Structure 1
Amino acid sequence: MGDVYVTIQHKEEYIEAKWQGHITADNVVSASLAFLELLKSKRCSKLLNDKSDVTGDWQEANDWLQFEWLPCAMEAGLRFMAHVYSFNMFSQLAARELQERITPEVSMKSFYERPLAEEWLRKQDDTAAADQRAATA
């Protein structure tokens, strides 16, 4: 309907995706493609994925995110994702499933509070992620 459902912007230490409204799997795919373009141009290793203001079940996007988007995002430099949960049960379930699918390739942690997500993301170090991936390989 032309409503804005995500705002993506480059911050000093990470890229932020701030979601709002009722979202679908198609919305997640479209926004993830836009995020990927910004990631390629900025070569940023961190994503703050804030879905605290959404409703909707976007779980159908998880296959695409795991098998299509994730390899491209990792090639462009993504290593860490802090996810801020929605209080919507369906959105939480989709996020939990995504975390199971993409860890340990990307270090993903979910939070109920945005300040905690930002703090965790700022503390992440690219060399630690490389060591963790090597240890699990």
Structure 2
Amino acid sequence: MPILETVLLDTPTLLILHEPRLQLLRVTWRGQYDAKSARTGCEHILAHICHTRCSLMLNDSSEVYGDWWKAGEWVGQVFAFELGKRGIRAVAWINAMDWPSRHSVASTLPHVQGLEVWIFDFDEQDAAYAWLLSQTPPAAA
């Protein structure tokens, strides 16, 4: 039976899974974040994505709370750029239920360039996943 996903990192605040068949990186953020911990989480993602050859990322912030907007510009400019350099071309970002965290996500988006990023509400995980799968180029015949 083929491996459907591989755990790349599992901490109390961050889970990173790799689904090789879909070239998908699935990231789940959990708990309280501030600007420093948000940036550290992004750096963990960059460190673990190197050998995955992923082109899609499901970035689930639905379980996040806290105000990390001061990292928004860095996340949008540096982190997003580095994701693109490593092969990510589409990100489905599931928004938090927490209003300060939702504001932080919104503060990030104007700074993102070079990636297709769509925001989904915290109860739209299935829609986010379906959108990502629609971003997969057709297999070569």
Tell me whether the two structures share a fold, i.e. TM-score over 0.5: yes
Name the TM-score class by shorter chain: 0.7 to 0.9
Unaligned regions of 5+ residues in structure 1, if any? 128-137
Structure-1 separation of matches of 2:54 and 2:31: 26
Secondary structure in 2 matching 1:121: helix
Q: Could you tell me which of 7, 19, 23 is aligned with 2:15?
A: 7
CA RMSD of aligned residues (A): 1.8
Q: Distance in 1 between matches of 2:17 and 2:117?
A: 19
* Structure 2: distance between partners of 1:72 and 1:26: 18
State the identity as a percent: 23
The answer as to whether partners of 1:39 and 1:78 remain within 8 angstroms in 2 is: no
Pick the aligned partner of 1:91 from 94, 101, 110. Answer: 101
TM-score, structure 1 length as denominator? Answer: 0.81
The match for 1:109 is 118
Aligned partner of 1:118 in structure 2 is 129
When normalised by structure 2's length, the TM-score is 0.79
Q: Which structure shows the higher helix fraction?
A: 1
1:77 aligned residue: 87
Alpha-carbon deviation of 1:56?
0.7
Is 2:52 aligned against 1:46? no
Displacement of 1:126: 5.4
**Moved runs in structure 1, 4+ residues, more than 6 A?**
none
Matched, 1:66 2:97: no
Give the aligned length.
124
CA distance in 2, matches of 1:62, 1:86: 15
**Structure (1 or 2) with the greater strand fraction:** 2
Per-residue deviation, residues 27-83 of structure 1 (Å, max 9, x unmatched)? 211111111122221121111110111111111112222333232221111111101
Distance (Å, rounded) in 1 between the aligned partners of 2:132 and 2:85: 19
In the aligned structure 1, how far is the partner of 2:127 from the partner of 2:104?
A: 20
